[in-house]
Amino acid sequence: MSDLLRLLKLFRPYWLWMAGSIALSLASVLANVGLMAVSGWFITAMALAGLAGVSMNYFTPAALIRAFAIVRTVGRYGERVISHEATFRLLAELRTWFYRRIEPLAPAGLAKAHSGDVHARLSSDIDRLELVFLRFFAPVTVAALASLVVVAVLFAWHPQIAASQAVLLALAGIALPVLVAKAGGAPSERLTHQGAEMTTKLVDMLDGLGTLQAHGFDAAHAARIEALTCGMIAEETRLSRLSGLSTAGVGLATNMALFAAIALAVPAVRSGALAPADLAMVALLAMASFEAIGPLPLAAQSLGGTLASARRIFALADGAPPVAVPARPAPLPLNAADAALLSFRGVGLTYPGAARPALCDIDLDLMPGTRTGLLGASGSGKSSLVNLALRFWPPETGRISLSGTDVADLDPEDVRRQISAVSQHAHLFTASIAENLRVAAPDAPLGKLEEACRIAQVHDFIAAQPDGYDTLVGANGLKLSGGEARRIAVARALLKEAPILLLDEPGEGLDRATETAMLEALFDATGERAVLYITHRPVALERMHALLLMERSRIVDRRAAPQMG
Ligand SMILES: Nc1ncnc2c1ncn2[C@@H]1O[C@H](COP(=O)(O)OP(=O)(O)OP(=O)(O)O)[C@@H](O)[C@H]1O
């Protein structure tokens, strides 16, 4: 219930849209009830007048019938337009809210959540929340209000019919949905989790389809998906049966209401307590009022799954960001020529659940205009230094500072603005080369993109493409070779005007000659930037001002390099 209340609180900015949609829906339901009742009365009264050979005023009921029909049609149309507008606005708001909540969690806070799972939460789970308003909140409110009006109107004609009507409405509108919610809650919740698991597995499978095929594991993976599909079909079948039963239940209650109204009205007509023409009116009014009750069992049935989606969304959104944003971030410090732009002092890091620390007691200074080479075996902790500098992870011990100010006092976004990085797994978006480059410098003219790509030794390749810089790179840069993608990532890092440049294996995937040419051009262009160059291979190390060697999470050797320019 607290999840439902929390959702409704999120919907608060759209209460006017929701109120409008509910008002129109109520008008439409009541217009239908009025239409049926007045039509019943009118036809009977006309027949009786005909039999008795007397005249009657048919203008007023005919006008009423027309009015009800118009309100019914216009109300239904308006309600559909407004309720869908309200729903789409709510969904847009929810998606933005969720994205804003999970953005500070990335990447460390999302490490445990598989990308397919985050995708499922962002798309299908949020989509399912539309049901909260459209299929739950709105129908429940309309049914409650419409039932009150109908019972009150019936009470004026015949209190016993009103009482029987109230009992049947309560049975179909409260007892039946409660039963359905009990029976359908668990399957509906299971279906939500299975749907999310399916998205996760499918995304994972599509990402690794080539690997699965190469290892002949695609059939096993497909079998797992088939098993999951069978499970989902079983739950869907259970829910469909339940839905059929509940629809039958509402139908039964509707017909019982009709028969109860007739059974009670006939003696009343005989005794003169009720006018003969009112019999048809009362009976049809009783029957039509069940239109509002119809959607309730389905609403109750899907509530379990919808709330499971809400819980999945809140569970991720409520995660504490791994790197806290200070309540009052310090202003960005000015860069002093004689102070380290980026400094590590006694820094240590152990990843959650890791058996051993990734970094121990790291001291490091990156001065303006200097280049520092960092060498070390695989797994020695080099990339973890970049993770800490970019504030993706907080250091466990020690202090990292930017121009003398502890980064813990700064907004992580401000810190990242000072750093340009080529990370080990640099991502290329499903867009053109130019768009990928402009991620780092949105306003950069083409000339600037070309300049950076010339340095990264990738301009000639791009220029040779039929679409040049507008060439689409495919999902994750799939249409490019590893080396081409790497060089585009290097060019992108160069385009960002940040005083600190972190290069994590920039030459990965390149042949020796291209790597050397790229690094030479790159180091010629770094100017007053402070550069950290992480590498396995002894390429362009003579361009470094200092060399550090890492082994098993520690810097074990440091020396000034005989740099040449
Ligand atoms: N997100 C993470 N969660 C848990 N452990 C991690 C994570 N990232 C890295 N590690 C572990 O931390 C250690 C250091 O990893 P890191 O990536 O910093 O090494 P590296 O020197 O950059 O290696 P390579 O040269 O192979 O890229 C490794 O043992 C690695 O398994």
Question: For 359-380, how does the pLDDT look when each residue is reduced to its tens digit (9 = 90+)?
Answer: 999 999 999 999 999 998 888 8
Ligand 1 atom with minimal separation from the 351 CA: 4
CA–CA gap between residue 425 and residue 442 (Å, rounded): 22
Mean pLDDT confidence for 224-244:
93
pLDDT band at 127 (very low <50, low <70, confident <90, very high): confident
Indicate if 489 and 528 belong to the same structural domain: yes
Residue 4: exposure state from Cβ atoms within 10 A (0-12, 13-18, ≥19): middle
497-509: pLDDT as tens digits: 999 999 999 988 8
Q: Considering only CA atoms, which residue is closest to atom 18 of ligand 1?
A: 381
Report whether residue 378 contacts ligand 1, using a CB cutoff of 6 Å.
Answer: yes
Which CATH number does the domain housing residue 476 bear? 3.40.50.300
Confidence of residue 564 (pLDDT cuts 50, 70, 90): very low
φ, ψ at 550 (rounded to 5°): -105, 140
Question: Do residues 435 and 357 share a domain?
Answer: yes
Ligand 1, atom 14: closest residue by C-alpha = 381
pLDDT of residue 68: 94
**Residues 306, 166 within the same domain:** yes
Q: Letter for the amino acid at 126?
A: I
**One domain for residues 471 and 553:** yes
Output the CA 346–ligand 1 centroid distance in Å. 19
Does residue 565 surpass a pLDDT of 60? Answer: no
- Residue 548 domain-assigned? yes
Cα(357) to ligand 1 centroid in Å equals: 10
Report whether pLDDT(453) > 50. yes
Nearest protein Cα to ligand 1, atom 26? 378
Q: By percentage, how much of the chain surpasses pLDDT 70?
A: 97
Ligand 1 test: best mutation among 383, 503, 537, most atoms within 8 Å of CB?
383
Name the token pair of 498: 């940040």
What is d(CA 177, CA 172) in angstroms, rounded to the nearest whole number? 7
Instruction: Identify whether residues 426 and 514 lie together within a single domain.
Output: yes
Q: Each residue of 300-327: pLDDT tens digit? A: 888 888 888 888 888 888 888 888 888 8
Q: Are 301 and 184 in contact (CB under 8 A)?
A: yes
> Residue 562: pLDDT above 70?
no
Over the chain, what is the mean pLDDT? 88
Quote the pLDDT of residue 173: 93
- Cα separations (Å) of 304 from 1, 191, 239, 298? 11, 10, 12, 11
With b for 16 or more beta-carbon neighbours within 10 A and e for fewer, the 339-359 pattern comes to bbbbbbbebbbbbeeeeebbb
- Enter the DSSP assignment of 112: S
Same domain, 369 and 259: no
Instruction: Output the CA 164–ligand 1 centroid distance in Å.
Output: 71
Q: Which atom of ligand 1 is nearest to the CA of 385?
A: 18
What's 80's domain CATH number?
1.20.1560.10
Confidence of residue 217 (pLDDT cuts 50, 70, 90): confident
Determine whether 319 is exposed, middle or buried from the number of CB atoms within 10 Å of its CB (0-12, 13-18, 19+). middle
User: Which range of residues forms the domain containing residue 523?
Assistant: 342-563
The answer to the question of residue 455 being in a domain is: yes
Span 209-235, average pLDDT: 85
Residue 70: partners with Cβ closer than 8 Å, 6 or more residues away: none
100-119 pLDDT, tens digit each: 888 888 777 666 666 677 77
* Closest ligand 1 atom to 553 CA: 14
CA angle 486, 489, 495 (to 5 degrees): 145
Residue 62 shares a structural domain with residue 161: yes
Give dist(CA 109, CA 177) in Å, integer.
39
Number of domains in the chain: 2
Strand 419-422 to 371-376 pairing: unpaired
d(CA 122, CA 98): 7
The answer to whether residue 510 is domain-embedded is yes
pLDDT of the residue at 7: 82
At 386-403, the pLDDT tens digits run: 999 999 899 999 999 998
Q: Are residues 93 and 134 in the same domain?
A: yes
